[in-house]
């Protein structure tokens, strides 16, 4: 589940060379992607001597290598979709009809005709709100827990078996427990988000704390820095990139899970909306929803990658 989060096309669009140095667990797939993109870009840059002729050549190669492949990919998707649509006798709606439906849906995203008929904007916002609450709670618990587990070997040995046991459990398996304990659909969905997003944050923060370079700790010892200065000037800044990797994985997983959780719990939300449209046999809306879910996930991922890059610094060589 976690690795699936990583195959987002934005990874290729935004090369993350500095991030590669700080490979944390799970991030291998994304890094492979990222380095690939970096390599292509640097090849492009090498063909940039001055002069108008050379510039035109560079522009051509930019279009050829940068713009054309993604457009071809999208074109292929639309083509396959059109063929499937024709093959099924339009029970899967064609791209053109779906686009028309999307335009109609997004022309009024914030209408509200009672709890079961609300605009897509409201549905997205209530899903995002659940993710934010569940994720926020998970961060509030998981990041300090990660610090403690990383700092003290005893705690790490104590909790590692528990984490290994609970982490592979599908978050949806926790939903009944949530419903039982919290006696409500909304808290149960938030609980599910909490439980699925806490593991990457604990694990990545703990790894970050364990990997603080010994050189920095030696500097702290030679300067005889106070415990407060060690935490604020050395530990926290060097753990931050790992922590943000954990946050990124957690948000990605949370966004995957909320759709499934809402299908089961109902209410207002993008997952419930998909299920509702299925009951109405409105396949066009389901396809629109799939695209919306993808775009929102992409935006979340992209924002967090940008955030992580801003806080990643060149490390001391060991």
Q: Could you list the residues that contact another protein (CB under 8 A)?
A: 215-216, 218-219, 221-225, 229, 233-234, 237-238, 311, 313-318
Nearer to another protein, 183 or 317 (CB): 317
Q: Of 108 and 215, which has the nearer Cβ to another protein?
A: 215
- Output the smallest distance, CB 317 to another protein, in A: 5
- Decide: 185 and 126 in contact? Cβ < 8 Å: no
63 burial via Cβ count (<10 Å: 0-12, 13-18, 19+):
exposed
CB of 201 to another protein, least distance (A): 21
Q: Do the Cβ atoms of 233 and 297 come closer than 8 Å?
A: no
Q: Is there a contact between 241 and 207 (Cβ–Cβ < 8 Å)?
A: no
Q: Considering the complex, state which of residue 47 and residue 218 has its C-beta at the smaller distance from another protein.
A: 218
At closest approach, how far in Å is the CB of 314 from another protein?
4
| Nearer to another protein (CB atom), residue 230 or residue 283 | 230
Residues 191 and 178 sit within 8 Å (Cβ to Cβ): yes
**Min dist. Cβ of residue 221 to another protein (A):** 4
Nearer to another protein, 152 or 311 (CB): 311
Contact between 34 and 20 (Cβ < 8 Å): yes
**Residue 193, SS3?**
helix
Instruction: Tell me, rounded to whole angstroms, the distance of Cα 179 from its chain centroid.
Output: 26
What is the closest distance, in whole angstroms, from the C-beta atom of residue 15 to another protein in the complex?
Answer: 17
């Amino acid at each position: 589940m976690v690795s699936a989060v990583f195959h987002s096309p934005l990874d290729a669009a935004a090369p993350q060379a500095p991030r590669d140095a700080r490979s944390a667990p799970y991030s291998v797939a994304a890094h492979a992607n990222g380095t690939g993109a970096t390599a292509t870009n640097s090849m492009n840059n090498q063909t940039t001597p001055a002069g108008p002729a050379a510039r035109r050549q560079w522009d051509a190669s930019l279009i050829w290598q940068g713009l054309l492949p993604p457009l071809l990919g999208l074109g292929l998707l639309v083509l396959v979709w059109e063929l499937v649509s024709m093959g099924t006798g339009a029970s899967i709606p064609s791209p053109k009809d779906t686009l028309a439906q999307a335009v109609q849906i997004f022309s009024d995203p914030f209408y509200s005709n009672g709890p079961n008929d609300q605009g897509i904007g409201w549905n997205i916002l209530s899903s995002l709100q659940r993710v934010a609450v569940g994720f926020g709670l998970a961060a509030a618990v998981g990041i300090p827990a990660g610090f403690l587990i990383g700092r003290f070997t005893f705690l790490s040995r104590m909790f590692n078996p528990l984490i290994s046991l609970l982490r592979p459990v599908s978050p949806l398996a926790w939903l009944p427990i949530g419903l039982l304990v919290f006696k409500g659909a909304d808290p149960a969905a938030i609980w599910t988000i909490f439980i699925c997003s806490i593991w990457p944050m604990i694990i990545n923060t703990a790894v970050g704390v364990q990997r603080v370079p010994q050189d920095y700790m030696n500097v702290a010892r030679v300067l005889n820095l106070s415990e407060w200065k060690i935490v604020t000037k050395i530990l926290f800044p060097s753990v931050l990139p790992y922590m943000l990797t954990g946050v990124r994985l957690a948000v990605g997983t949370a966004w995957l899970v909320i759709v499934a959780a809402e299908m089961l719990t109902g209410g207002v939300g993008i997952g419930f909306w998909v299920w509702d449209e299925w009951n109405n046999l409105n396949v066009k809306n389901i396809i629109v929803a799939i695209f919306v879910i993808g775009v929102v996930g992409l935006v979340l991922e992209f924002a967090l990658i940008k955030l992580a890059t801003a806080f990643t610094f060149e490390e001391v060589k060991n």
